[in-house]
Amino acid sequence: MLKTFRKTFCIGACLVIFLTLSYLSFMYIHTAVQLAFIPGHITIFEEAEEHAKTVESVEEAVGCIVGILIYYPGGQFKMIDNTPCESLLETLRRNSVKRIVAVLKERFPESNKGDSPAAWIEAYGDNNDKLTLNAMRASEWYKKWYACLELSGVSENSEYQIEREND
């Protein structure tokens, strides 16, 4: 009886160790794959920022903001929700959008719509940009990462402000 218990215990312990190591290996590989995508995102974001600095019109620069916002949003194919890599990516995205808005405010002071990228998109985006903005507002991604569109400086009463869902 004791031999059977020891054998069963050893098999169970080995199974637990195997499953734990399998899970940790999967998570390591998963994180490594996600990290491999981040330099590509950074390149796209930097190219959009550089393009926004050289465009001749507000409308083109607003197109750069929209391009950054729709380029593989968090929780999609390349990035899975609630991972450190996704948080890093979304921070990079928000910072790029902030920098483009700063460029817009500097280069086109007569067209200033404040710090909210949504306000710029509403005012100067083409119809596709506005449709994209409305679709984003209706999506779960937007509700989760709405700070990417509604940056600091937007008042509580702004027409662009959207209620956050209670967690």
How far apart, in whole angstroms, are the C-alpha atoms of residue 35 and residue 31?
6
pLDDT at 113 over 50: yes
Please tell me the pTM assigned to this model. Answer: 0.70
Give the mean pLDDT of the chain: 79
pLDDT digits (tens, 9 = 90+) for 4-20: 888 899 999 999 999 99
Q: What single DSSP character describes residue 147?
A: G
Q: Using 50, 70 and 90 to split pLDDT, how confident is the model at 152? A: very low
Q: What are the residues whose beta carbons fall under 8 Å from the beta carbon of 148, sequence distance 6 or more?
A: 69, 90, 93, 94, 97, 117
82: left (phi over 0), alpha (psi -120 to 50) or beta: left
pLDDT at position 31: 82
What region, left, alpha or beta, does residue 120 occupy, with left being phi > 0 and alpha being psi -120 to 50 degrees?
Answer: alpha
Higher pLDDT, 144 or 64: 64
Which pLDDT score is estimated for 155? 35
Asked if 131 and 89 count as a contact pair (C-beta separation under 8 A), the reply is no
